[in-house]
Amino acid sequence: MNSEIKKLSIDADRLWSDLAAMAEIGPGVGSGNNRQSLTDADRDGRLLFQSWCEAANCSVSVDPMGNMFARRAGTDPDAMAVMVGSHLDTQPTGGRYDGVLGVLAGLEVVRTLNDLGIKTERPIEIVNWSNEEGARFAPPMLASGVFAGVYERDWAYARTDADGLRFGDELERIGFKGCERGDDIAPHAYLELHIEQGPILEDEGIDIGVVTHGQGLKWLRVTLTGREAHAGSTPMPRRANAGLGAARITELVEQIALEHAPHAVGTVGQVNVYPNSPNIVPGRVDLTIDFRHPQTDTLIDIETRFRAGVATMADEIGLGFTIEDVGGFDPVAFDAALLAQVRQASTALGLSHRDIVSGAGHDACWVNRIAPTAMIFCPCIDGLSHNENEAITREWAAAGADVLLHVALEAAGIAC
């Protein structure tokens, strides 16, 4: 690589202003975003992204799951693409950078190559995966899961939101149900830049996280069934209180995660109480459980203990219950050769780096099944994410995008 190429960097101001422009779409209640998957706000964000990609001379296509691919042609018409990207959908009270950074940094890579007239042998494709968050349609990473052959498309189309609306119908409604990409869809390599969503890089003053592994995840949905009854006239011993069961499950999840310290985490994130009236003993509660751990065996042990604990608790309180397996994934190890390139590019750019395990799920975890994949982390303030106050600095974003640029260029090959 010549010295001019070694010094290449993206336009930090342009990336920063694009991040701010995307955050105008689907504003949240605070400083973040509510751009949940397949809402009107998601559609508007997609259209803005598409217009930026077309202005950068990319051809934009959409697959049947609404995944968007913006392609910058390479000089070799038969070469498989190097894919860079992440997701533009957000949590209901999401930040401005979770996912968005990876997509817009991908666009910045392409614009930088355009500005400098650098041609690559392989095409570069910027991807925006549909429904990474799983907040509106569970499970998360639904569309990259279909892309990687983990889920059936029709099963994915049949996922419903809280109002019973189907993923497939909502995709059609916003005008992003696209066409087959053909048989050979796997990229040559996939690269995803993402904020860490945890505190390690900032605490240690490190610029770049080289993501060696992603931890495993298990999502369950528990439905507890008791008996609705008058809150004033029903004696305590005669109640079948599904609300009490939900409280015990919340304790159980905490206890099981702590028993598997230091790596296990467990969360009850969504609780729906029926009929949700102040003077009715709850007759039914639905709640979601999110367990994560870097080792498959431990994750299985956690689930087994949880299921046994729910059965014991339900018996004690006199409740019926069901436990639905909503989805999840096994821990993953990313591609060693690409990780070496991430370390090398960071060093060449004068950026400090360390290996790190991702606590969050990412589309990269699924794409890793069909193509060599690497993730690059940049720090975020206080490790805060899935929160409207999620924040990063312009310099952190630029450093991550610079590493992405160099690794993508190495993978795509500079054409003579």
The structure tokens listed for 188 are: 């040559």
Q: Is the dihedral of CA 136, 400, 266, 95 positive or negative?
A: negative
Instruction: Please choose which of Mn ion, ligand GLV, none residue 361 contacts, taking the beta carbon within 5 to 8 angstroms, the exact cut-off set by kind.
Output: ligand GLV
Q: What is the chain's Cα-based Rg?
A: 23
Enclosing H/E stretch for 218? strand 216-225
Residue 93's φ and ψ, nearest 5 degrees, are -125, 70
In the bound state with Mn ion, the residue whose beta carbon lies nearer, of 108 and 410, is 108
361 binds ligand GLV, rule: CB under 6 A: yes
- Alpha-helical runs (H) found in 58-120: 100-116
Tell the smallest beta-carbon distance from residue 220 to ligand GLV (Å): 14
Cβ–Cβ under 8 Å, residues 310 and 321: yes
In the bound state with Mn ion, the residue whose beta carbon lies nearer, of 85 and 168, is 85
Tell the smallest beta-carbon distance from residue 387 to ligand GLV (Å): 12
In the bound state with ligand GLV, the residue whose beta carbon lies nearer, of 140 and 226, is 140
Scan residues 136-165 and list those touching ligand GLV (CB under 6 A): 140
- The Cα 409–Cα 190 span in angstroms is 12
- The Cα 385–Cα 404 span in angstroms is 21
**Helices and strands of the chain, counted as H and E runs:** 13, 15
Tell the smallest beta-carbon distance from residue 360 to Mn ion (Å): 6
332 binds ligand GLV, rule: CB under 6 A: no
Tell the smallest beta-carbon distance from residue 145 to ligand GLV (Å): 12
133 binds ligand GLV, rule: CB under 6 A: yes
192 binds ligand GLV, rule: CB under 6 A: no
Q: What is the DSSP letter of 78?
A: T
Instruction: Please choose which of ligand GLV, Mn ion, none residue 404 contacts, taking the beta carbon within 5 to 8 angstroms, the exact cut-off set by kind.
Output: none
Amino acid at residue number 122: R
Choose the binding region for Mn ion from 21-29, 97-105, 146-154, 226-234 (rule: CB under 5 A).
Answer: 97-105
99 binds Mn ion, rule: CB under 5 A: yes
- The Cα 371–Cα 212 span in angstroms is 15
In the bound state with ligand GLV, the residue whose beta carbon lies nearer, of 170 and 390, is 390
Q: How far is CA 295 from the centre of its chain?
A: 20
Size of the site for ligand GLV (CB under 6 A): 4
Look-up of token digits 């015990």: 248
Tell the smallest beta-carbon distance from residue 59 to ligand GLV (Å): 29
Site residues, ligand GLV (CB under 6 A) = 133, 140, 360-361
Site residues, Mn ion (CB under 5 A) = 98-99
